[in-house]
Structure 1
Amino acid sequence: MYLTWLDNNSWLMEIGGQRILVDPWLVGELSFGLDWLFKASLKQERLISEDIDLILLSQGLPDHAHLPTLKQLDHKIPVVASPNAAKVVQDLGYISVTCLEHGESFTLNNQVEIRALPGSPIGPTLTENSYLLKELATNFSLYYEPHGYHSPQLKQFAPVDVIITPTVDLALPLVGAIIRGTNSALEVSKWLEPQFILPTAAKADAIYEGLMVNFLKAVGTAEDLRASLEKNNLTTQVLEPKPGDRLKLALKKRAVTC
């Protein structure tokens, strides 16, 4: 299994010989329509020209279903998406779009099973997707949730080998954490006992502007999480990739217990 972090929530996952592009923001600016409040731009654009087997979208918001990026990617690439994100790519003219409700699954080229589970709440009535990916030849598995909202349904799939989720809180005064990592990363690690956990929703090669940026505060560190994992007798390794680094994860087969 190879994982390449492309900054923020964007990942290239190489699993079961398949190349899966997740929540790609690779070119252009990121805007939610109120630039005075929040706007972001990449220091380095990373549009991928190599073959992509699937685009996987967890949410329909611009930081996950990023219009400038999706407009430039080949519209013949199959897409698996939450219902909200599926509307975005369908409107752009993507040819093959599979919409996954919570509990539904999709198999990519007989190599990777992708299961949608409840993820981040967006407003009072909408809950977006998290995903559990399983490499069918080895049963190695990966769980992805970009805002730190983990459904108890996950417990039935334990153990899971790799988790990609926020590992620190990103908080606003009076509002609290809008990205949850400090406690939720430890909680989901207790549930799933992963071999590796990698942070997402982090910024590295991006420039952030607007009023909101002045009030956002990061709470917690990777070292804090490592200490909490050790205190709870978990051997999970916390990895901190740099944007563009292609990591090979040396996963170990788990002992079968009766």
Structure 2
Amino acid sequence: MYLTWFDSNSWLLEIANKKIFIDPWLVGPLVFGNQAWLFKGEKRSPRPAPPNIDLIVLSQGLEDHAHPPTLKILDKTIPVVGSPSAAKVAQELGFTQVRALEHGSTYFLDNQVEIKAVPGSPLGPTTVENGYLFRELETNFKAYYEPHGYHDKSLQQEAPIDVVITPIIDLALPLIGPIIKGTKSALQIAEWVKPQVMLPTAAGGDVNYEGVLVSLLKAVGTLEDFRSLLARHNLSTRVLNPTPGERFEVPLEKQPVSVA
């Protein structure tokens, strides 16, 4: 299994020799609702699209997950799997193979990778977006992605999960509290599914951020703090700190097969 982090929530997952682009952001600014005064992110170095993408996976319909400027430059024949709101964005931008995945539903990529949608981040009173569980059918290696730190209890039934990509520090607003759930939520999922490796997402990467919201956001915790927390709870999970744009192999050991 290989991963490349493209800043923020954007990842290229290579599993079973398939390239899965998760929440891609490559070019253009990241702005919500054209309100650049409130929040704006700009990459210091725009990145080219990875070649030979087999699937695009979108967790949410918001701009930091279904990023319109990036989706516009990608090949519209690439299949897309997304939450219902994200699938709608992809369809409106001209993608020709779009599958909206409800919670608990699965999608099979060339009978080599199973992708299961699980409940993720709540948006408003009625909408819960997607997290995803990726399983390599030949080896049974599993990777899980949820970008805001909301983890459904059903994931306990999927344990062990080898790789978890989720925030591990909190991003909080004064008087409101965390808008990105890191430390406690990340510890909880680590205890539930006993991952071999965890990787932080929703961190900045090689990006300049500005705007009123950015000036108010406060990061709480560090990677070293979280590593220490895992050790205090007798968890052997390794926490990796990827470099934006650099492809790396995830160090995994084959899980023992239980015999009934």
Q: Displacement of 1:253 after TM fit?
A: 1.2
Q: Displacement of 1:256 after TM fit?
A: 2.7
* Counterpart residue number, 2:185: 184
Q: How many residue pairs end up in the alignment?
A: 258
CA distance in 2: counterparts of 1:97 and 1:255, whole angstroms: 36
Match of 2:192, SS state, is helix
Cα deviations by residue, 1:177-235 (Å, 9 ceiling, x for unpaired): 00011111110000000000000000021111111111100001111111111111111
Cα deviations by residue, 1:127-174 (Å, 9 ceiling, x for unpaired): 000000000010000000000000001011011000000010000001
Q: Displacement of 1:72 after TM fit?
A: 0.4
Whichever residue aligns with residue 92 of structure 1, its letter is L
Q: Displacement of 1:81 after TM fit?
A: 0.5
Question: Which runs of 5 or more structure 1 residues have no equivalent in the other structure?
Answer: none
* Counterpart residue number, 2:107: 106
CA distance in 1: counterparts of 2:14 and 2:28, whole angstroms: 25
* Counterpart residue number, 1:231: 232
* Counterpart residue number, 1:240: 241
Question: Which runs of 5 or more structure 2 residues have no equivalent in the other structure?
Answer: none
Q: Displacement of 1:16 after TM fit?
A: 0.5
Q: Displacement of 1:53 after TM fit?
A: 0.2
CA distance in 2: counterparts of 1:99 and 1:213, whole angstroms: 32
Whichever residue aligns with residue 195 of structure 2, its letter is P
CA distance in 2: counterparts of 1:21 and 1:46, whole angstroms: 13
Shift of the 49–15 alpha-carbon distance from structure 1 to 2, 3 Å rule, reads: closer
Alignment of 1:28-177 (within 5 A): 28-32=28-32, 33-177=34-178
CA distance in 1: counterparts of 2:158 and 2:254, whole angstroms: 16
Cα deviations by residue, 1:56-86 (Å, 9 ceiling, x for unpaired): 0000000000000000000000000000000
Q: Displacement of 1:47 after TM fit?
A: 2.6
* Counterpart residue number, 2:21: 21
CA distance in 2: counterparts of 1:121 and 1:47, whole angstroms: 31
CA distance in 2: counterparts of 1:60 and 1:76, whole angstroms: 19
| Correspondence 1:205 to 2:206 | yes
Match of 2:183, SS state, is coil
Whichever residue aligns with residue 24 of structure 1, its letter is P
Whichever residue aligns with residue 118 of structure 1, its letter is P
Q: Displacement of 1:257 after TM fit?
A: 3.3
Whichever residue aligns with residue 18 of structure 1, its letter is K
Whichever residue aligns with residue 37 of structure 1, its letter is L
CA distance in 2: counterparts of 1:219 and 1:250, whole angstroms: 28
CA distance in 1: counterparts of 2:93 and 2:205, whole angstroms: 29
What is the TM-score of this pair, normalised by structure 2?
A: 0.98
* Counterpart residue number, 2:10: 10
Q: Displacement of 1:49 after TM fit?
A: 4.5
Whichever residue aligns with residue 20 of structure 1, its letter is I
